[in-house]
Structure 1
Amino acid sequence: MEAFAHLGESERRLAELRTLLVRTTTDAGGGLLALLGPPTQHDLAAALADPSRLEEGLLAAMRGAVGDVNGRVGSVPFVRLQLLLAPIIESCRRLLDAPVPDALVPDLRSIAAQAYTLAGRFAFETQADEASRALYAAATDASGSLGEPWRRAVVHMSHALVTLYSTPGLAAARALVDAAVRDARAGESVTVRARAHALQAEIAARAGAEKHARAALALAWYDMDKDHDGDPATSSFSPAHLRGFEGVTSLYIGDPAEAHEYFARSAASLVAPRERVQRAIVSTDQPLARILLGDPHSAAELLHECIDAASQTGGRVAAIRLRRARRDLRPWRRETFVADLDDHLIESLGP
């Protein structure tokens, strides 16, 4: 890959080649170690056999591998991403329990927190909720010992989102969001604070707490509008993402027409490959606003596009929201446009 870059290959083509490589490797039954290259494989095997041989170069390779898997979200099925990440998860677990050099422990914990969080998300997406909870617990423990509260806030936010869709009620998700906000406020990342407040606004809106929701949303925009230079977090949370949260807030406690506009603007801006899953979620919320506006036929038309997007990305949240939108179309269940939608939904996502 480095050679191709030096030869002038475009970033787009390099990204396509990486995705093809990941798909080919997982087709053959291989895992992430196959993507690390022989020298790194050898170094990792040596470190697992003798933890005192762990070096900064190997940690950098492991961090890069986790980032590469994260970058494939939306382009590669979640079950394949699980396969790719599994060797790093196991390596982190073994090394954290071993006598590695003290100076490298913080970096190892940081990598472990990122890997466990990502694996927790993948487990949720493949409906392994018990495994997901265990991985998030490990990520919380690893990130909590780093002395950088924003890192644990990131874990709490990811955990809160999957909890929202895997646990009945709002209480469990709200507790995680509140913990994320506390950590984010104590941390140095403005981006993480903005995202935490945005998620807090969504939970409050779902609970019907309008005043709380709008206050949290205002704080999210306040943080988003600040200078982000030197922000320690590498999160891609952007105004486009925040507009999606504005849409959800308006959907529950405001004007559905306003919500529809927010969703449309957000979806139009989420164009990067890594944003495909989020775009599918936002696009699936938009038909809910159309239903509330009394336009079920138009909502069904948009839902056809959402089914295709959810099928391509494999996102569980988009699928859950799709089925909720279909339930909201029950008053029109005898209409042909709803029957066509049902056929498409079953063909693509199952009953």
Structure 2
Amino acid sequence: MDSEGNVKLRAARIAAGYGTQEALADAVDVAVRQVRRWESSTPPWPRDAVQRKLTSLLGQDMESLGFTPPASVPGQRDAQARELPRTQGMVTVPVPGITLQPATVGDDYADVTRRHRRLYWTVAPATLHPAVVAHTTLGCALLPETAGVTRRTVAAALAESFLLAGRIEFFDSRQPAAAKETWTRALQAAGQADDQLLGAAILAHTAFLPGWAGDRQAAVERMTAARTYARRGPASAPLLAWLDAVEAECETRCGHIQTALTLLGHAEDVLAAGTEHASPAWLDWFGPVRLAAFKGHTQLAAGHLPQARQTLIQVLDALEPREDKQRTVILGDLAAVEAADRNPEKACEYAVAALDQLRRTWYSTGMDRVREVRRALTPWQHETCVRDLDDRLYDWETTVSALGR
């Protein structure tokens, strides 16, 4: 070995995100002086338990890390299998013997994920979804080329990208089967990152699948799993309140309205009390206004029309300009309130406003709300306002958009 010491180990350490010898020592649970000896020109051969930690953290076999095995130890490069463990197409461990990506690849990959997160609120789902899926393909390719801190960073960003792709499939495009598969892969990636809170968020999203289908038992089981993961991490008040809101949505769709209202009341208390923990950056879909939106929908389902109307109008006024997708849902719910209150003209007014918004920003969940309102307006289908709504609901552009999606 040359006078610069064990450059192979040093390069692998830095590529895995351990910028200092102290950081690697902490990860392996050895003294810093031991790492200094490993990075010397004559590194000693570590004991078996330490070898396992090093190869796992750095994604290389011992010889690739610059160690020379004693004569009694067979060479690892020939003995170690190169077959990659996979789970539904995703490589789940670093590949021994490959050249690792630099440590910067983690932040670079995560930066694109963050940008997709922001684009979701304004870019058409049919435009954004292929880009997000391509990004997940890149993440799956990068994962076996990284190790240690870098791999956890890539895995967490990959999990978030899969989560976003599934959200587009479920909420924007109404493709629950595709969302189910995508969220399964998201959970696998979150496991590689060992990110408990991201796992909780993914599991809670999967509860929507049986919840919207009326399978209460399955939805409750998913939420139990989500809460278990949340307890393992430093969960913020908004995250805990969102879990209540998701379960309330599922209970509402399964006809357990009082249970849903109780959950929403608890969510309000949780938000009011707060916690010392900050919310993850990816939790950008929930806050007090969104909680009120959940509550208004459940009040509507409960037949509490004055309360629902007041809640939803307050939500509509409080929505930020970027929240156009949510605006279509609130307008649809307000239309449903007026239809239930036997006010077809006002119901049609809100429904037309929702269609105007959908023309600018498509959102299948919002269109579902409008269709539900139109079914509720059947007793007044010969009224002029309802016929005008039909003209808008079944014009060329809206009809083609709905069938195309």
The structure-2 alpha-carbon separation of the partners of 1:179 and 1:264, relative to structure 1 and needing over 3 Å to count, comes to farther
Q: Cα deviation per residue 1:297-321 (whole Å; 9 max; x = unaligned)?
A: 1011111000111222211111111
Structure 2 counterpart of 1:69, from 110, 113, 116: 116
Deviation of residue 257 (structure 1)? 1.3
The whole-number CA distance in structure 2 between the counterparts of 1:95 and 1:183 is 26
Q: Is this contact kept in 2: 1:73–1:277, CA < 8 A?
A: no
Q: Cα deviation per residue 1:54-94 (whole Å; 9 max; x = unaligned)?
A: 23322212212112122122321111101222331111112
Instruction: Name the amino acid aligned to 2:107.
Output: A
Deviation of residue 186 (structure 1)? 4.0
Deviation of residue 185 (structure 1)? 4.0
Larger Rg: 2
Identity of paired residues, percent?
Answer: 22
Map of 1:37 onto structure 2:
none
Corresponding position: 1:203 with 2:263: no
Map of 2:313 onto structure 1:
264
Structure 1 counterpart of 2:377, from 322, 329, 340: 329
The whole-number CA distance in structure 2 between the counterparts of 1:100 and 1:113 is 15
The whole-number CA distance in structure 1 between the counterparts of 2:165 and 2:105 is 20
Corresponding position: 1:338 with 2:386: yes
Map of 1:141 onto structure 2:
188
The whole-number CA distance in structure 1 between the counterparts of 2:137 and 2:344 is 48
The structure-2 alpha-carbon separation of the partners of 1:270 and 1:324, relative to structure 1 and needing over 3 Å to count, comes to same
Deviation of residue 346 (structure 1)? 1.4
Map of 1:299 onto structure 2:
347
The whole-number CA distance in structure 2 between the counterparts of 1:88 and 1:120 is 13
| Greater alpha carbon shift after TM alignment, 99-108 vs 254-263 | 99-108
Q: Is this contact kept in 1: 2:340–2:376, CA < 8 A?
A: no
The structure-2 alpha-carbon separation of the partners of 1:261 and 1:186, relative to structure 1 and needing over 3 Å to count, comes to farther
Q: Is this contact kept in 2: 1:267–1:279, CA < 8 A?
A: yes
| Greater alpha carbon shift after TM alignment, 329-338 vs 120-129 | 120-129
Corresponding position: 1:101 with 2:128: no
Map of 1:181 onto structure 2:
227
Map of 1:249 onto structure 2:
298
User: What is the TM-score when the length of structure 2 is the normalising length?
Assistant: 0.68
Map of 2:34 onto structure 1:
none
The structure-2 alpha-carbon separation of the partners of 1:99 and 1:157, relative to structure 1 and needing over 3 Å to count, comes to same
The structure-2 alpha-carbon separation of the partners of 1:51 and 1:168, relative to structure 1 and needing over 3 Å to count, comes to farther
Corresponding position: 1:222 with 2:222: no
Q: By percentage of residues, which structure has more helix?
A: 1
The whole-number CA distance in structure 2 between the counterparts of 1:228 and 1:56 is 33
Corresponding position: 1:119 with 2:170: no
Deviation of residue 132 (structure 1)? 2.2
The whole-number CA distance in structure 1 between the counterparts of 2:146 and 2:205 is 29
Deviation of residue 101 (structure 1)? 2.1
The whole-number CA distance in structure 1 between the counterparts of 2:117 and 2:319 is 17
Instruction: Name the amino acid aligned to 1:313.
Output: T
Corresponding position: 1:60 with 2:107: yes
The whole-number CA distance in structure 1 between the counterparts of 2:257 and 2:98 is 53
Instruction: Name the amino acid aligned to 2:243.
Output: A
Map of 1:285 onto structure 2:
333
Map of 1:42 onto structure 2:
none
The whole-number CA distance in structure 2 between the counterparts of 1:240 and 1:315 is 19
The whole-number CA distance in structure 2 between the counterparts of 1:265 and 1:171 is 33
Q: Cα deviation per residue 1:312-349 (whole Å; 9 max; x = unaligned)?
A: 22111111111111111111111111111011011242
The structure-2 alpha-carbon separation of the partners of 1:212 and 1:196, relative to structure 1 and needing over 3 Å to count, comes to same
Instruction: Name the amino acid aligned to 1:334.
Output: H
Instruction: Name the amino acid aligned to 1:268.
Output: D
The structure-2 alpha-carbon separation of the partners of 1:174 and 1:51, relative to structure 1 and needing over 3 Å to count, comes to farther
The structure-2 alpha-carbon separation of the partners of 1:99 and 1:69, relative to structure 1 and needing over 3 Å to count, comes to closer
Q: Is this contact kept in 2: 1:304–1:344, CA < 8 A?
A: yes
The whole-number CA distance in structure 2 between the counterparts of 1:230 and 1:57 is 27
Structure 1 counterpart of 2:204, from 148, 157, 165: 157
Deviation of residue 108 (structure 1)? 1.5
Deviation of residue 197 (structure 1)? 0.4
The whole-number CA distance in structure 2 between the counterparts of 1:99 and 1:84 is 22
Instruction: Name the amino acid aligned to 1:59.
Output: G
The structure-2 alpha-carbon separation of the partners of 1:270 and 1:55, relative to structure 1 and needing over 3 Å to count, comes to farther
The structure-2 alpha-carbon separation of the partners of 1:308 and 1:228, relative to structure 1 and needing over 3 Å to count, comes to farther
Q: Is this contact kept in 2: 1:178–1:200, CA < 8 A?
A: no
Structure 1 unaligned segments of length 5 or more: list them: 1-47
User: What is the TM-score when the length of structure 1 is the normalising length?
Assistant: 0.78
The whole-number CA distance in structure 2 between the counterparts of 1:197 and 1:251 is 18
Where 1:89 maps in the other structure, the secondary structure is helix
Where 1:53 maps in the other structure, the secondary structure is coil
Where 1:191 maps in the other structure, the secondary structure is helix
The structure-2 alpha-carbon separation of the partners of 1:270 and 1:228, relative to structure 1 and needing over 3 Å to count, comes to farther
